[in-house]
Each structure stands twice: as structure tokens, then as C-alpha cells.
Structure 1
Amino acid sequence: MGQMEGEKTRYGFLNVVPLALAEWAIFTCVFAVAGAWPAPDVNEGYYLAKARHSVNPEWCENDFFLNSEDAHGLFFLILGPFAASAKLSTAAWVGRWAGWLALAVGFRHAVMQLFPSFLHRLFAITMFSLAARYTTMAGEWMIGGCEAKVFAWALVLGAWGEGVRGRWAYAWLLSGAATAFHPLVGGWMMISIAFVALIQSIKRRDQIDWLNLCGLSYVIAGLVVAFYGVWPALQMSSGVAADIREQAAAIYVVDRLPHHLLPSSFQESLVTRHLLAVIFCGVLYAALP
């Protein structure tokens, strides 16, 4: 009897794996269609050059930007060797495909419990890719060039998938990995996971799954992994005078990235479409059983 159950499990596994691989491939192509603009993208020239420089400091050794502190060390550690040995345009395309695949895996994991049907998941990923491009108000994106935040968002999607399954400790660990890639993307996800897990625990009047020894180990591991991304970011302003930090923050927000960080500079049309999308999602959520 046990042997028969083992055979059934193995047979089911062999059926599921090819389907998952095929779905990942299809989802990757959906993301590629949504974000395959010419290389290099506006930011790829900076990040890929920094990745190459992190491995080969003699390349453009006197460049001020390349010699500045690295805020995305894990991304440079992973992509740096390839960026140093190949053309930057080649590294951009390889990194893009790797990012799209990571997003595909993360997205499938996030929606698997919600949409058991492949066609429903295909519709969901199509809507997701369109929404990611056409409903933002601060010029942000996740499907496109090769940057650290793409891989961070993939891990965030994976974390949501764990959260949907009620496995908050695993969700926290994946959020920590996302923070290692991109402190802002992953850091906000860690805050969200902690908040939602606490609310769910209060509603159900039970203990969160990370309050046991095993769960606590994942919490600590998540913090340690996240620290790998947060520490370099903190070091960038360590030992700098307060007035210099304030001046740098003003330049960063007002002069360099107002379209991302200064709400008063956002285009009204972008704000309007974003608010309409939020209202639509709220109405849809309220209407669902």
C-alpha cells in the first residue's frame, strides 16, 4: 500500500514539474513582451557599469560614480562576473531574461492558491503586466531593464505567495532576501508581512507561526539576510555631517528624482489613473465573495 502511494506521489510530481516549467516559460515571455525595450535602458548603463567595476576596479578606475559606495552589493556580486567578461549589452539582455524568469516564478507562486486554472493565471499575469505599466503615478516599474529591484520584486511576489498560504515565517525570509537585493522594495515588504501576520493572528486568535522555535529561526535568518542589503545603504551616510546629509537628501528628492519621490511634481494624469486603479481594485475586492 505504501509503495502504491509512493508511486502515485512520484507520478503526480512528474506531471506537475513539466507543467510548471511550461507555465514559467509562458509567463516569462509575457513579461518579455511587456518590457523588452532596446538595451541599454536608462538605468542599465549605471548599474551594469557598476557591476563590472565591482569585479574589475581597474576598469574606469577614476570614474567618480563607479567609485562611490555600492547600495546593491548582492546584485553586483551575482551579475558582476558576467558583466566583467561580456559586453554590457549582452549582460543587460541576460540579466533581463533572468529577471523576467524570476518574476514569472514569483508571480505563479503568488497566484497559484487564488487561481487554480492556468487560463485564469494567464489572464491575471496579462492584467498584472499592463497594470504595472499603465497605473503607476511615480514613474516606477518592475518589468523592464536589468536592475536589483526586479529580483527584489520577484522575491516579494514569492513572499506574498507564502503569505497567502499562511506561512508567514517563510514569507518573512523571502522578504529579507528581497531586502538584500533592494533595501526599499524588500524593506517595505518586511514591514507589510509583519503587519499583516499580526492582524491575521489577532483575527484568528492564534499564535503567529514564527513564535515557535523553528519559525523564530526563520525570522532571525530573514533579518540577517536583510542586513546584507541594509548595512551598505546605512554606511553611505555614516560619518557624514548632518547638513551634508540634508543637502544630499534635498538634491536626491528635489533635483534628481522628483518624478519618483516628490508628490507635488507628479503629473495629474498619472495620479488620476493610479487613484482610479485603486478604487477599481477596492470595488472589485468588496464585490468578491
Structure 2
Amino acid sequence: MWPVLIAVWATFLLYSALAAPVPGANEPHYLCKSLHYWQPDWCAPDFFLTSPNAHTVFYATIGALTQVLSLDQAAWAGRGIVYFLLALGWTRSLSQIFCSQWSCLWVACVYLTLASIGNFSGEWLVGGVEGKVPCYGFLLLAFAETLQQRPRRAALWAGLAISFHPVVGVWGVLAHALSRIVSIVMDSRRYRRSFTSSLLYQRQDAAAAEMGNPQASAGTGHSARQAWIAVAIFTVVSLPGLIPVFRLLTETVPAQTRYAGTYLQVYFRLAHHLDPMMFSAQSYVGYAILLILWGCSLAWGGRTLAKIRLDGIVLWAVVFAFVGILIGWGPRPAKLMPYFAERMNLLKFYPFRLADVLLPVAFSISLVSVLERTLLVAPRSPGLACLIWKPQWLLLVCFLGAALLAHSRTDQNRYSRENRHDWLDACGWIDTHLRQEALVLSPSNGWAFKWFARRAEYVSFKDCPQDAAGIVEWNRRLNFLQKWFEENYADGLYSNTELKDLRARTGATHLLTDRLGPMELTPAYKNETFQVYDLESLD
């Protein structure tokens, strides 16, 4: 499996490098949090970094790279680690579905091609380094060990999945558990009907019960003991990830604060992930087509036991997403929905994200399964034409085209190419000239400020805390700044008196702006796009 594993790993890394150049969308969030976790004095005044941690296991393990490497180097090293784990789980699990081990690589190419076209709720699998990537890798490893009937190893990997990302891990484990329960119930009913007609079996079973068959008793006891050991392993390993989340969910805050925090999370900050009425029509159409094609593939031949079990997990992921749509669908504004508070509290657990990833993966597996039985194993004939028109080349070309397409969209969440140089220049000046304890008011559309400037921010729209009180305070700070800038611009100038008031009410030491102004205060540094103002000079 090593050649296949390395090929899949390289495919993930190449797509990651093209689709999400360092720093990726969430890498400043995870790695800056990790650096502050290990060095609390780094950007100590930063509001987001000092908020409660939701991914402690990631910060304590992969995040430790920030102690020996720069942030850029830690991102690349972290990607190498997490995508190796993902590739390992990918090949270990999918190799039990196909006859050819190289089909794992072709599934990766098809899936990444689909991922470059779009997704349903904003969920992705291959991009930057963050907690959900190793989580999916561990879930796939747990699935592979389950197929090999190794419950203790499966429990270990499942527990690690939850520790690295509790939301994704719990949904994945729940889908697998429900699919296994349904499978066991169906099998037991099938066997019961079959054995009922066998009088010999009934007599043997009765005789064994009367005589206390020691082998049967030993087998039953051994299975029960293995199950309890697996449950114990799963519980112990998953607790490091569950405890921080449990603390966030049970924090002692007023009911009004908890309500407001959930509302802001579901219908404001993360509405593009959590509110099904915010998803585009294109996403619904695309995933409906995938669902129909995948459903049709369930009747195709060549379905191994491993694929049947995987399809069961995917089916439950789709059920979770469908229930999420029913919960979130209703009139707007959302508070007009019946049982609005209960529905809002359910939506904050991301019911769509598992199906967002697994449905394209399941379709890719079905497509490659058909190709494996037809074109991929076509008889070889001599000649250059046969070598050129191999379907493997077409899959590789589709993958490269998809990676380049994803790369062309990387500027959507960053400054334009014209302003990027000035942004990095301003952040670099801040990094070299401001004291470590500085607190900066950065632009609302700032990109990875802490990553480049290595200084604390008063508030950042991208970096939203996870606790209810923190979310409410985050929203208050954003609203305060917007209102302050609007009210004090009535005379067309931000005077030193007004800026001194801003400093007193925020505690900020410096102000970084692009369009905001004019200011009475002379900038401490400026380039063609950005200006840095020293608010401490007003003291």
C-alpha cells in the first residue's frame, strides 16, 4: 500500500497548496490560537486568543509545531502531518472496497474535482491545516478497523476523531453506530427467519442451553468483554476533546446571553454554514443530482460488504442533513418560525457538514467502481494510442484542472493583488516597530492580521469566540466601532479629541486603516493604501 499511500498523500498536498496557499482560510485561527496556547504572553491583549479553547487537543499536539517553527513553516509541516493521516485512513478504508488498490487514488481525483466545483454548506476536506482534517482521517481509520473486526483499534481511532474535532467526530461516530445498529437488526431478523425453519438448529440450541455449552458461554463472554474494553477505550480517548466543548455548552451565563450568543452564531457569523435558507440554489441542485446518482448506484453490481457498510454511513449523514433542512426551513426573519429557540439550538451543531463531505466521496467511489470493472481493467493492446487514451490520464487531467480552478478563487477571501503588497508592508512595519503588548484596531476586512503583524487585535470579524458570552462581546465590539466611526464622521474629520475618546473606550494603542479618515493625527507610518496611527501619542 505504500506507493498508493504516497500518491494519495501527494495528491492531497498538491491540491492543498494550490487551493489554499499559506495561510489558508482558517490557519490563522488555529495556529495563532496554538501559539498563544503555548505562549500566553504572545498577543496577550487579543480578545479572541484569550477566549475559551474549543480544540485543545489540536493546540496541544499539532499546534506545538509553532514552538519550533515559524507560522508559515508550522502550516506546511502541519499540512504534511494531517494529510498523511487523511491519506492513511483513505487508503486503509477504500482499499477494502476495490479490487485494485490504485482505485483509492482515482477516487481522490474525482472527489477533489467535485470539491473544486462547490459544496453544500461550506464544508471542505482538503485545504489548510485544522482540527477536522485529522478527524476525518481517524474516522476513516476507525471504519477500516471495523471492517477488519478490530473493535479496540476502531474505538481508539474514533476517540481520537472526537478529540481533534468534537462536532465532526460525534456526527461521524453517530452515523456509523446507527448504520451498524440497523445492519445488526436486519441481519438478526433475516437469520431468525432462516433458522426458524430448521428444527435441527432449534434442538441443538436447546441442548446447548440445557448442558451449558462452555464454548458458547466463553464466546459470548469474550464478545461482551471486548465490547466493554472498546467502550472504555473510546470514552477515555474522546474525553480530552469533549470536556472543553461540554464546558462551553454548560458555561454559567444569563439565559439572555446564551440565547443571544446562539442567535449570533447561527444567523449572523456562521449563517453560511448553519442556516439552510442561506445555501445557494446551485448547491441544492448540485447535491440533489449527486444524491440521485449515488442512490442509483446502490442498485449497481459490484457492491462489496465494505461498500454496503459505507453506504449505510453516508445514508445516515444524508438523513442528518435532511433533518437539518427541515429544522432550519421557515419564514424570515427566523424568529417567526414555530419553536424558534429549540430549532436554533439544534442548528448550531452543524447537521450538514458530514453529508457535505461524504456524499461527494460516496459518488466518487461509485463512479470509480464502475470504471474499475470496465475501462480501468480493459485488456491492454500495444500501441501509443492505447497508452494515451487510458482513463487514468483523463482523471489526472480533471484533478489538475480542478486544482487550478480552486487556485483561481483564492483571492476571494484576501486582499486584491494590488493591495496585498501594501497590506503585508504595513503588517511588517507593525511587527518590527510596535511593542509586544500593543493592541491594534485593524480594518474590518483585514486578512490574517495576527499572522503577519504578530500583534493583538481589538476585534476581528473572522476570529469569533466559541462561548456565548464571548460571542455577545464580539458582536458588541463590532457594533460599537461601526457606530463610533459613523457618528464621529459628521464633521468630515476625526479629531485628536475623538481619537483620544476611542482609545479610552477600547484600550487600543494603535489604529491601522485603509479608507478610514481623514485624521487630525499624523500617521506614524503610511504607504499607498494603509496608514498606522499611534493613539498612545495622544496621552
The one-letter amino acid paired with 2:244 is P
Q: Deviations over 1:105-149 (max 9, x none)?
A: 000011111113133222122223333443521011011101011
The one-letter amino acid paired with 1:114 is I
Q: Indicate if the aligned counterparts of 1:172 and 1:190 stay in contact, CA closer than 8 A.
A: no
Q: Deviations over 1:223-267 (max 9, x none)?
A: 222221111012124112222111111111111111111100001
Q: Indicate if the aligned counterparts of 2:163 and 2:241 stay in contact, CA closer than 8 A.
A: yes
Q: Deviations over 1:152-178 (max 9, x none)?
A: 011111122223344455434322210
- Where 1:147 maps in the other structure, the secondary structure is coil
The one-letter amino acid paired with 1:28 is W
Q: Deviations over 1:194-250 (max 9, x none)?
A: 212212222232999995112211112112222211110121241122221111111
Q: Distance in 1 between matches of 2:297 and 2:53?
A: 42
The one-letter amino acid paired with 1:216 is W
1:168/1:200 CA distance change after superposition, 3 Å: farther
1:226 equivalent in alignment to 2:207: no
* Aligned equivalent of 1:236, options 225, 229, 248: 248
The one-letter amino acid paired with 2:5 is W
Question: Number of residue pairs matched?
Answer: 270
* Aligned equivalent of 2:179, options 185, 191, 196: 196
1:224/1:241 CA distance change after superposition, 3 Å: farther
1:32 corresponds in structure 2 to: 13
1:87 corresponds in structure 2 to: 70
1:288 equivalent in alignment to 2:312: no
Q: Indicate if the aligned counterparts of 2:65 and 2:78 stay in contact, CA closer than 8 A.
A: no
The one-letter amino acid paired with 1:235 is R
**How far does residue 21 in structure 1 lie from its aligned partner after superposition?**
2.4
1:119/1:81 CA distance change after superposition, 3 Å: closer
* Aligned equivalent of 1:75, options 36, 46, 58: 58
Q: Indicate if the aligned counterparts of 2:88 and 2:137 stay in contact, CA closer than 8 A.
A: yes
The one-letter amino acid paired with 1:21 is W
- Where 2:102 maps in the other structure, the secondary structure is helix
Q: Indicate if the aligned counterparts of 1:210 and 1:219 stay in contact, CA closer than 8 A.
A: no
Deviates most, 58-67 or 115-124: 115-124
1:180 equivalent in alignment to 2:163: yes
Between Structure 1 and Structure 2, the one with more helix by share is 1
Q: Distance in 1 between matches of 2:294 and 2:153?
A: 27
Q: Distance in 2 between matches of 1:197 and 1:288?
A: 22
1:211/1:189 CA distance change after superposition, 3 Å: farther
Any residues of structure 2 matched to 1:130-145 within 5 Å, and which? 130-134=113-117, 136-145=119-128
Any residues of structure 2 matched to 1:11-160 within 5 Å, and which? 20-36=1-17, 37-134=20-117, 136-160=119-143
1:154/1:133 CA distance change after superposition, 3 Å: farther
Q: Indicate if the aligned counterparts of 2:89 and 2:138 stay in contact, CA closer than 8 A.
A: yes
> Identity, % of aligned pairs?
29
Q: Indicate if the aligned counterparts of 2:4 and 2:104 stay in contact, CA closer than 8 A.
A: no
Q: Distance in 1 between matches of 2:184 and 2:9?
A: 35
Q: Deviations over 1:33-66 (max 9, x none)?
A: 2221311012111110000111010101111100
Q: Distance in 2 between matches of 1:94 and 1:256?
A: 30
The one-letter amino acid paired with 1:218 is A
The one-letter amino acid paired with 2:71 is L
- Where 2:107 maps in the other structure, the secondary structure is helix
The one-letter amino acid paired with 1:34 is Y
**How far does residue 98 in structure 1 lie from its aligned partner after superposition?**
1.2
1:203/1:170 CA distance change after superposition, 3 Å: farther
- Where 2:298 maps in the other structure, the secondary structure is helix
Structure of greater Rg: 2
Q: Indicate if the aligned counterparts of 1:135 and 1:277 stay in contact, CA closer than 8 A.
A: no
Looking at both structures, which has the greater relative contact order when contacts are Cα pairs under 8 Å and sequence separation is at least 6? 2
Q: Distance in 2 between matches of 1:158 and 1:210?
A: 24
1:176/1:58 CA distance change after superposition, 3 Å: same
**How far does residue 85 in structure 1 lie from its aligned partner after superposition?**
2.8
Q: Distance in 1 between matches of 2:137 and 2:82?
A: 8
The one-letter amino acid paired with 1:26 is A
Q: Indicate if the aligned counterparts of 1:180 and 1:225 stay in contact, CA closer than 8 A.
A: yes
The one-letter amino acid paired with 2:236 is V
1:95/1:264 CA distance change after superposition, 3 Å: same
Q: Distance in 2 between matches of 1:276 and 1:222?
A: 36
Gaps of 5+ in 1: 1-19
Q: Indicate if the aligned counterparts of 2:121 and 2:279 stay in contact, CA closer than 8 A.
A: yes
1:282/1:171 CA distance change after superposition, 3 Å: farther
Gaps of 5+ in 2: 192-218, 303-539
* Aligned equivalent of 1:258, options 250, 264, 271: 271
Deviates most, 158-167 or 59-68: 158-167
Q: Indicate if the aligned counterparts of 2:139 and 2:173 stay in contact, CA closer than 8 A.
A: no
Q: Indicate if the aligned counterparts of 1:109 and 1:158 stay in contact, CA closer than 8 A.
A: yes
Q: Indicate if the aligned counterparts of 1:72 and 1:148 stay in contact, CA closer than 8 A.
A: yes
Q: Indicate if the aligned counterparts of 1:178 and 1:186 stay in contact, CA closer than 8 A.
A: yes
2:461 corresponds in structure 1 to: none
TM-score scaled to structure 2, two decimals?
Answer: 0.48
Q: Distance in 2 between matches of 1:209 and 1:173?
A: 22
2:224 corresponds in structure 1 to: 212
1:267 corresponds in structure 2 to: 280
1:247 corresponds in structure 2 to: 260
